[in-house]
Amino acid sequence: MSRERAVIHAITGASGAPYARRLVQVLAASGVRVHLTMSSAGARVLLEELGIRADPAQFDPRLFDVESDLVTYHRPEDVGASIASGSFGASAMVVLPCSMGTVARIVHGVSSNLIERAADVMLKERKKLVLVPRETPLSSIHLKNLLAATRAGAVVLPAMPGFYHRPTTLEELVDFVVTKVLDQLGVPSDLIRRWGKAPGR
């Protein structure tokens, strides 16, 4: 049986669809199996931000220009999917982008769909859960929920690109955030110039 690394990636309805597409592309190219799912709001944001008309009931990874059979898609309503179980062997889960609504439901253990259930499982199994929220400004409700997520064991990694690698393109800004996520997953990457490495200017 194949023992390749498996990561769960949920796309929810916050702004940041370009990050999501890039993460799937890089993970698949790195030989990591991706168990992908998305909320209907996530699909709506794909349309608004990338012009991708996705059906959350049956998403085709080729819409992300990913041909690899390393990407398996799960319907968000399918709470009986493999990734909904604690016995599933994923090493980590990323919610990218992560809406404040999904943060709220995860920290309150709502588990009303596959995304929330899979996140609940990662927390109870003490496995890595990386939430990449995006909202501004943040209300006290958002801040309390993000603190609760951290206290429950999740890594809160806001979609906040830095500028010290001197990006000149949108792709470089996207790669900054994706690199931070890959670092959390322990997936080696060289998408951006690292701080302290030969700036050359």
Ligand X SMILES: Cc1cc2nc3c(=O)[nH]c(=O)nc-3n(C[C@H](O)[C@H](O)[C@H](O)COP(=O)(O)O)c2cc1C
Residue closer to ligand X, measured from CB, 70 or 114:
114
Determine the Cα–Cα distance for residues 127 and 155; give it in Å rounded to an integer: 11
Smallest gap from residue 192 Cβ to ligand X (A) = 23
Binder among 48, 55, 60, 67 for ligand X (CB under 6 A): 48
Q: Which of residues 26-45 bind ligand X (CB under 6 A)?
A: 39, 41-42, 44-45
Smallest gap from residue 135 Cβ to ligand X (A) = 4
Q: Where are the beta strands (DSSP E) in 13-160?
A: 33-38, 71-73, 92-98, 128-133, 155-156
Binder among 25, 102, 145, 179 for ligand X (CB under 6 A): 102
| DSSP code, position 81 | S
Residue closer to ligand X, measured from CB, 14 or 181:
14
Cβ partners under 8 Å of residue 69, min gap 6: none
Cβ partners under 8 Å of residue 42, min gap 6: 10, 11, 12, 13, 17, 20, 56, 97
Strand arrangement, sheet containing 155-156? 71-73, 33-38, 6-11, 92-98, 128-133, 155-156
| Contact pattern from residue 129 through residue 168 relative to ligand X, giving x for each residue in contact according to CB under 6 A and a dash for the rest | -----xx---------------------------------
Smallest gap from residue 148 Cβ to ligand X (A) = 16
Binding site for ligand X (CB under 6 A): 12-15, 39, 41-42, 44-45, 48, 99-102, 134-135
